[in-house]
Structure 1
Amino acid sequence: MKIITSSQNKVIKHAKSLQFKKYRDAAGEYLLEGIKLLQEAIKYDADISHIFYHDEVLGNPDIQDIIDTCIERKIPVYEMEEKLFLDISETKTSQGVIAIGKKRDYDMTSLIKQKCFNIVMLEEVQDPGNVGTIIRTADACGFDMAILSKGCADIYSGKTIRSTMGSLFHMPIIPDMDFEHMLGILESVGALTLAAAPHDGMPCYDIRYKDKNAIIVGNESKGLTGAVMDKASLKVNIPMIGRAESLNAGVAASILMYEIMRHRLAR
């Protein structure tokens, strides 16, 4: 355990830089903030390189447990004054503990060899809350992977991470994928690829789902691109009896994933 007293400390400067995507990408690291997220990260063996706390929270037993576990695992722990700590915090009401995590790399190789799998694919979904909600729901519905195209909200931004509520550590996520190429791979292994379309295609409850399924959800305002729509196996919609024109991307994806889970449990 070390004490940091200067904002010019190189560890603090590095942590602060991770508030920006270009530095997260360059370092392969990201910030984790809050008790619940750090508890989940530790429980699921996320790779943590540093932890920071401010001296006003030492009486909190949850934070003390996090600190003790990190010390046992030989993870460097840094104490600082609250004012200095808040310089690296990304939340309005910080709980007083932040960690630096290392990104994990995943690929499709082992997944596409499985006899059964369910995937959710996000094409240019730009709201961090939607991306985080979809990942969290995919985790809850037992999905095997989330795949994001270029143009999606960064899964390692603070807002997205907090929206996942720890599901970031439970399921594989692959960002920046070429969806046309990915759909070709899924087609080659017999997967059913379902393009979410607000006013077109089959109702989600009439579809005969397969052992291998992929739901594709598009941008909040533009929906899916024509190329992805054309390459998908089917277009799927969520019938509505009210007057709302469409559903939020996170809500729509959640309903479609739940429908697949429901069919899976009924078999």
Structure 2
Amino acid sequence: MNLFVFGLGFSARRFVERERARFGRVCATVTDPARPSPPGVEIRAFGPETDDSRISEDLAATDVLLVSAPPERAGDTVLRRYRAAIADSPVAWIGYLSTIGVYGDHGGAWIDEGTEATPGSERSRVRLAVENDWLALGRETGKAVQIFRLSGIYGPGRNPFVKLREGKAQRIVKRDQVFNRIHVDDIAATLAASIAKPRPGAVYNVTDDEPAPPQVVTEHAARLAGLPLPPEVDFETADLSPMARSFYGENKRVRNRLIREELGVALAHPTYREGLAALVGDAVR
């Protein structure tokens, strides 16, 4: 069984690192070929200005396709360039990594996969359109396409300890605001479970069990690591990028029942507490 990955980012890289042994051959695209890659992975350049000539040939020998490359405003670059090659390939399982942002704002209410997606930002509207394009490809070709809507991703090297250690953490307070999170290892486990049990057209929320206020997570991380707690900052005056600020415009609690009941996923890090406990070493690196 061969794997091809479009977009060897944080989540896809962790999946490859954990599951490399189950695949005979792994090819993956990056925008910067000079960046170190996991052992045993054949790297292909892919981006707005680059397109490795070997990709079509790779796809012709691929069984499992993971798409982690973000879309452009005009849509999905992978589909625009390689839709025909994928349709003609032996690929049987396709996973598209999306975001819970496609649900939009629900005022803090609980939602699940049956909740209508009502994206509030242009970025999320593009994501939803790309999801639908991939699902359409699955219907037309008979290939098992699955959509994975990820919540806030954290893991080794990307977590509150790193920001606390570097003095970049902010304890931002916005009344009643909560976010779901997901440890990158639980994303990898969910993908592996889906490959073992494909369901064409499936949409899964990949998220933890306990949405929590961001300042509470920062406080817990600081206590675990014995690091100074940054002062509270009101959301209205916080120093945030426009994209980061936009995340606070959406408030929802996301259920993950489907990955547990259908795929049998038992989260190794069901809340931020278990996830941070596993990562506390990052506080002293």
Tell which structure's C-alpha radius of gyration is larger.
Answer: 1
Q: Same fold (TM over 0.5)?
A: no
